[in-house]
Homo-oligomer: A and B are copies of this chain.
């Protein structure tokens, strides 16, 4: 009999509550601040988010019920399968057992719909008719388009112009799901018009797109804004990944020694890891590793500061590891990992030494992704390749040490919309980007004069 390589869960085994790690933090996290240094209150966020989401953002309740209409939609692709990567283990000759959670099975191809669906739902029941958001490479924009369609909300996505032009397929996905996808900057907002006047050929940036989406939101009727990562409620929505993984690991009779996820804004990493970090807080012995690009080394090289979430400083100041909000990301293919900051909750856990971080250079990531595709079959997203590279490092270490480590990794999405990166890699056209101390110092200038987080 062939050995089991995956564990599936029946529809009735889907978790019915999200896990909120805010309830278990050993030390409190500094609050978000207004530009003048005073704490941000729920009312300050009300023009941008509906109050039911703001309540989740600030909640310290450990378990939060997933509403039935949300569960019904999550069942479209959840519970997602958990695999044991036996073919990869064999190729590496490692005694490690490598497990991965396949989040690429969602309609949009990544973990992003896990939060897009509840966000669309909460806006819907709050009476909101329309959502705005921004997207870089398009993963988040397509996930929110899908979710808005399910609940009958209008959706407008501001997509960084250079991606809009070079990667038309994500735009087509959004339109197929009924959303409007506009190149950013564009003439529909004041911000967009101002920037286009100065530079009609600007490629755009995520910072500009956020500014446009927020401006659209606050100047439109029945409209709110939606964010795909970084915030507490987004991280919480993703914990369904780790909660399912726990049940599935039990079917294999194992518990991880190491949990690994890639980290851009931090939400997929939070999703796989927070339920395990909870165990660690309560005494369990395990390592938790966030894999970030060496080109955007937040938790491996940048300071823990208060910084804005966007270039135009329209968001509150968040306590996080940050490269500075004027950081210009290098052109690595992992578009979803090119953010200047890191989710406050993830940053706080790093500061508390409950998690570690690893910096992975682009070429090692593609080499790892190629090995993955040729053993485990599924072609990973460039973001996911960072988690794979970190996993392979640990599996090789286990081999050197002759120890049978159990590794659990989040396979955050497939790379079928990102094949040009593989093409460039196979043609030898890719390179590593490492941040020099000079670049770091320059990038960090933008946080000068901002409030400092208190000592732990």
Contact = CB atoms under 8 A, between A and B. Distances in A.
Contact of A75 (B6, B169, B173): B6
Contact of A107 (B12, B177, B379, B420): B379
Interface string A143-161: 0001001100000000000
Contacts of A9: 8
A377 B76 contact: yes
Contacts of A87: 150
B377 A107 contact: yes
Copies assembled: 2
Contacts of A426: 175-176
Interface in A361-414: 370, 373-374, 376-379
B76 A420 contact: no
A172 B374 contact: no
A176 B373 contact: yes
A71 interface: yes
B172 A420 contact: yes
B176 A379 contact: yes
Nearest to A370: B176
Contact of A2 (B72, B77, B169): B72
A11 interface: yes
Contacts of A194: none
A89 to B, nearest CB: 14
Q: A interface, how many residues as a size bin?
A: 35 or more
A204 interface: no
A329 to B, nearest CB: 24
Interface in A1-49: 1-6, 8-12
A6 B74 CA distance: 12
A2 B75 contact: yes
A109 interface: yes
A374 B169 contact: no
Nearest to A10: B8
A175 B419 CA distance: 10
A177 B373 CA distance: 7
A54 interface: no
A71 B172 CA distance: 36
A183 to B, nearest CB: 15
B423 A175 contact: yes
A137 to B, nearest CB: 14
A2 B68 contact: yes
A376 B76 contact: yes
A430 interface: no
Contacts of A451: none
8 contacts: A77-B377, A149-B374, A172-B420, A172-B423, A173-B379, A173-B416, A176-B419, A176-B426
A-B CB proximity, top 10 nearest: A107-B377, A172-B419, A8-B8, A4-B11, A172-B423, A176-B422, A2-B72, A107-B378, A2-B71, A169-B419
